[in-house]
Structure 1
Amino acid sequence: MSIVDSIAKRRTYYQLNKNLPVAEQEVIGLVETITELVPDAFNMKSARAVVVTGGQQDALWDAIYDAFDGKVAREKIDGFRAAYGTILYFFDTDVVKGLQEKFPLYAANFPVWAQQANGMLQFSIWSGLRDLNVGANLQHYNPVIDEKVKAMFGLPASWRLVAQMPFGGIVAEPDAKEKEDIAKRVKVIR
C-alpha cells in the first residue's frame, strides 16, 4: 500500500468496539515503531505515547467524564469508553526546556517543534492503525484531565498531554468525504 492510499484510508471512526481485529501486541508494536521513526527538530525525541487497554481503558474514560462534572454528555464519553483502548499523546517539557537552554536563539521554537512532531506522530499512528483495519478518532479533553491522567498512570509531571486517541474494532463506516476544491488551499507557483 502506498502512503497516499494509507492516508486516504484513514478516517475518523466514532463507532468503535472492543473487538480488536489484530493482536494487541501488533498495535503496541506499531506505536513503538512509529514513535521511534517520526522525526523532530534537533532530534529532540520529546514525544511520549501511553497505550491504555483493558480495565484501565474504562477507568480512563470514567475519570475523564468525572473531571467534567457532567458538563460532557455521558453518551459521548461512553462512545470512547467502548473502544478497545486509547493512546495518550504527550511531549516531555523537560526535554524541550533542556534544548531551550542549550540553544537560546531557538528557544521560542522548541515548544512549537514539539507540537509539530507530536502531530506527525498522531497522524502516522492513526494511519498505521487503519492499515491494521483498526478504527480510531482523536480527542482533546486536555488540559482539564491532565493532572488526573498523570496521577492515574504514575506519569512524570513534565509530560504535557496533547491528545487522546480511542481505537478499536470498527462498528460502522463514516459517511463518504466530499471532494473539495483543493486549489483553494494549494497554490502552485512556477
Structure 2
Amino acid sequence: MSIVNSLKERRSYYNISKNLPVDENKVIKLVEEATEFTPDAFNMKSARVVVVLGEQHDKLWDSIFDVFGGKVPREKIDSFKAGAGTILYFYDNSVVKGLQEKFPAYANNFPVWANQANGMLQSNIWVGLRELGIGASLQHYNPVIDDVVKKLFEVPENYILVAQMPFGGIVEEPAEKAKENISDRVVIKK
C-alpha cells in the first residue's frame, strides 16, 4: 500500500469492537516502531506512549466518564470503551525543559516542536493501525483527565497528556468524505 493510499484509508472510526483482526502484539510492535522512527526537532525524543489494553482500557473509559460527572454522554464514552484498547500520547516535559536550558535561543520553540513531533507520531500510528485493518479515532479529553490517567497508569508527573486514541476492530465504515477543492489549501507557485 502506498503512503497516499494508506492516508486515504485512515478515517475516524467510532464504531469499533474488542475483536482485533490481528494479534495485539502486532499493535504493540507498530507503536514501538512508529515511536522509534518518527522524527522530531533536535532529535529530542520527547514523545511517550502508553498502550492500554483489556480491563485497563475499560477502566480508563469508566474513569473518564466519572471525571466528567455525566457531562459527556455515557453512549459516547461507551463507544470508545467498546474498542480493544487506547493509546495515550504524552510528551516528556523534562526533556523539553532540558533542551530549553541547553539552547535558550530556541526555548519558546521546544514545546511547539514536541507537540509537532507528537502529532506526527499520532498520524503514523493511526495510519499504521488502519493498515492492520484496525479502526481508531483521536480524542482530546485532556487536561480534564490528566490526574486520573497519571494515577491509573503511574505516569510520571512531568509527562504532558496530548491525546487519546481508542482503537478496535472495525464494526462499520464511516460515511464517505466529501471531496474538497484542495486548491483552497494548497497553492503552487512556479
Determine the C-alpha separation between the residues in 1 that align with 2:106 and 2:48: 22
Instruction: Specify the alignment match of 1:20 in structure 2.
Output: 20
Instruction: Specify the alignment match of 1:160 in structure 2.
Output: 160
The Cα shift of 1:48 comes to 0.5
Instruction: Specify the alignment match of 2:89 in structure 1.
Output: 89
TM-score (norm 1): 0.99
Q: Deviations over 1:105-129 (max 9, x none)?
A: 0000000000000000000000000
1:27-46 alignment runs, 5 A limit: 27-46=27-46
Q: Which runs of 5+ in 1 are unaligned?
A: none
Determine the C-alpha separation between the residues in 2 that align with 1:46 and 1:160: 10
- Secondary structure, counterpart of 1:71 in structure 2: coil
Determine the C-alpha separation between the residues in 2 that align with 1:8 and 1:70: 35
Q: Deviations over 1:96-149 (max 9, x none)?
A: 000000000000000000000000000000000000000000000000000110
Determine the C-alpha separation between the residues in 2 that align with 1:60 and 1:175: 28
1:119-138 alignment runs, 5 A limit: 119-138=119-138
State percent identity of aligned pairs.
66
- Secondary structure, counterpart of 1:51 in structure 2: strand
1:96-135 alignment runs, 5 A limit: 96-135=96-135
Instruction: Specify the alignment match of 2:151 in structure 1.
Output: 151
The Cα shift of 1:62 comes to 0.3
- Secondary structure, counterpart of 1:91 in structure 2: strand
Displaced runs of 4 or more, over 3 A: none
Q: Pairwise CA RMSD of aligned residues?
A: 0.4
Instruction: Specify the alignment match of 2:180 in structure 1.
Output: 180
The Cα shift of 1:89 comes to 0.2
Amino acid at match of 1:162: V
- Secondary structure, counterpart of 2:76 in structure 1: helix
TM-score (norm 2): 0.99
The Cα shift of 1:176 comes to 0.5
Determine the C-alpha separation between the residues in 2 that align with 1:171 and 1:45: 35
- Secondary structure, counterpart of 2:21 in structure 1: coil
The Cα shift of 1:177 comes to 0.8
Determine the C-alpha separation between the residues in 1 that align with 2:66 and 2:126: 27
Determine the C-alpha separation between the residues in 2 that align with 1:182 and 1:5: 17
Deviation larger for 103-112 or 3-12: 3-12
Amino acid at match of 2:57: Q
